[in-house]
Structure 1
Amino acid sequence: MARSVIVTGGFGVLGNAVAAAFAARGDKVARIDFAPSAKEPLAGALDIGSVDLTDGQATGAALDEVVSAHGGIDILVNIAGGFVWETLEGGSLASWAKMQAMNLTTAATITQLALPGLKASAAGRVINIGAGAAIKAGMGMGAYAASKSGVHRLTEALAEELAGTSVTVNAILPSIIDTPTNRADMPDADFSTWVRPEAIADVILYLASDAARAVTGALVPVTRGG
C-alpha cells in the first residue's frame, strides 16, 4: 500500500535522494522546502516551496496541502537544516541562534503539527537527521553540533512520549555526506570515505519499513563510504 511521505529539505541533494527512494517503491511523496522550487524534478511528487518551517502557520498550511492531496501522513523525514563552521572567538553569536532555528526548530515545529496525522497512521514514522559531529564536536563545530545534539534529544524524548502509539521516532547520524557543496568546500579530501546520499536513503527506508517496527529512540550512525 502506498504511504504518504513528507521529506523536508526535499529540494536539496539528500532530500531529493530520499524522496526519490520512497517514490521508487510507489509511495506518495511530498517535498517541502524553504527554496521556492526544486532544481531536480521528481515525477509524481507534490512539491511545496517557500515554506519557513519555523513558522507554525506556514508549516500547518503545507501539511494541510499534503493531507488534502495524499489522504494523511504516514512518514515524516526531517532533513531541512543548515551548516556553519565558525570558531566562537572569531564567529558570531547569531550563528548559534541560526543553527538552532534551521536544524532543531524546523524539526520540532513540523513534527508537532504532524503528530495528529502520524498517530492516525497504522505505522507512523518520524526520522530525523542528526549528525555524527554532534557526538564529539571539533573546533568550529560548536553551533552546528549543539543544534544537532538538540535533534538527538528531541528524537529520544519524543520516542518515549509516543511509546504507547503506532509511531516510532529515530534519527540518522551521518558522517560527511558526499555532496557537490562538500566536495567544493573540501577539495583535497578523500571522497571515497564519505557517505553517499543514496546510502543514507537506504537506512531511512529501513527505519520507515515494517521490519523496523520495534526500533524507536535510536540514534543510528551512518559512516561508511563507498
Structure 2
Amino acid sequence: MADRIIAITGAAGVPGSAVAHAAAELPYQLALIDYAADFAGPSGAFVQSSVDLTDAAQAGAAVDAVADRLGGLDVLLNIAGGFRWETIEGGSDDTWPDLYRLNVLTAANASRAAIPHLKRSAAGRIVNVGSAAALKAGFGMGPYAASKAGVHALTQSLAEELKAEGVTVNAVLPSIIDTPANRADMPDADVSAWVAPKDLAAVILFLASEAAGAVTGALLPVTGRV
C-alpha cells in the first residue's frame, strides 16, 4: 500500500534511527518522535522533538499531530525506551519505576493515543520492542528485564484487544544490539554476534507491513548469535 503513514518513537536513538532510514526507502510517510531536544531524520520526515512519552497528554498530542499533519496513521513503532544495568541488592529504589516509565509507559501511552487512528487504517500495526533478557534475566538485569516483561504482556494483551479491529500488535525481542554505547561497555566482546541495527529494523518493518497481517501477539526473538 503506497503512502502508508508510520510513526516511530525513540527515533533519535540508534535502533530508532536505523528503522527510520530503512523506512525512508519504502513507500511510507514518516513521523519521528523523541525526547531529544534536537535531532534530524531522513529528508521529508515530520519530526517532533522534546516529547516526553511518559506523559499521557504529551504522547497524545504528538500522535494526534502526526495524524493531523499526514492525514492519518497506519503504523506505530514503539522504539522509545531505556536500559540500566544494576544489581537488586546494591541498586536504587528509583531504577524500577524509572525503567517502567521508560519502557512500558511510553509504549502504553503512545499506543493508547494511536488506537483510534489505527482502527481507521486498512492495515493498522503496532510493533513494540521487548527484550530477550526478559525471557531469562541475567546478573544485573532484574529491573530492566522486569520492565521489558511488562512490554511483552502489554503486547499480548493489546493484540487480543485489537484483533477484531484488524490491528495487529507484535514485539521484537532483541539480544545485544550493536551500538556505540554497548561497544564502549563491552570492549572485548565479539560484536559480530550481536544484532546489527539494520537487521533489527528489517524485522520490525516486516511486522509493520501488510504481509504480516496474519501475525499478532507474537514475541519474536531477534538474537543474532548471542
Instruction: Give the TM interval when normalised to the shorter protein.
Output: over 0.9
Alignment-derived partner of residue 128 in structure 1: 128
**Contact kept? 1:196, 1:225, Cα under 8 Å:** no
Aligned residue number for residue 117 of structure 1? 117
Tell me the amino acid that sits aligned with residue 217 of structure 1: G
Which runs of 5 or more residues in structure 2 are unaligned?
none
Letter in 2 for 1:191: V
Distance 2:210 2:63 in 1: 24
In structure 2, distance between residues paired with 1:105 and 1:213: 26
- Unaligned stretches of 5+ residues in structure 1: none
SS in structure 2 of the partner of residue 187 of structure 1: coil
Deviations 1:93-146 (A, max 9, x none): 110000000000000011011100011101000000000000010111000000
Judging changes above 3 Å, is the alpha-carbon distance between structure 1 residues 61 and 209 closer, same or farther for their aligned structure 2 residues? same
1:189 aligns with 2:167: no
The answer to which of 133-142 and 64-73 deviates more is: 64-73
Q: Following superposition, which runs of at least 4 residues in structure 1 exceed 4 angstroms of deviation?
A: none
Look up the match of 1:15: 16
Mapped to 2, the partners of 1:191 and 1:225 lie a distance apart of: 10
Q: Deviations over 1:130-185 (max 9, x none)?
A: 00000010111000000000000000011111121110000000010000111011
Q: Which has the larger displacement, 40-49 or 99-108?
A: 40-49
Deviations 1:48-100 (A, max 9, x none): 01001011111122112211211011000000000000001111011000000
1:140-151 aligned at under 5 Å gives the runs 140-151=140-151
Q: Contact 2:32 / 2:41 at 8 angstroms: preserved in 1?
A: no
Q: How many residues align?
A: 225
Q: Name the CA distance, whole Å, in 1 between partners of 2:187 and 2:167.
A: 41
Q: Does the 8 Å contact 1:131/1:174 carry over to 2?
A: yes
Structure 2 equivalent of residue 208 of structure 1:
208
Q: Which residue of 2 aligns with 1:173?
A: 173
User: AA paired with 2:221?
Assistant: P
* Deviation for aligned residue 1:225: 5.1
How far apart are the structure 2 equivalents of 1:81 and 1:192? 24
> Residue 6 of structure 1 corresponds to which residue in structure 2?
7
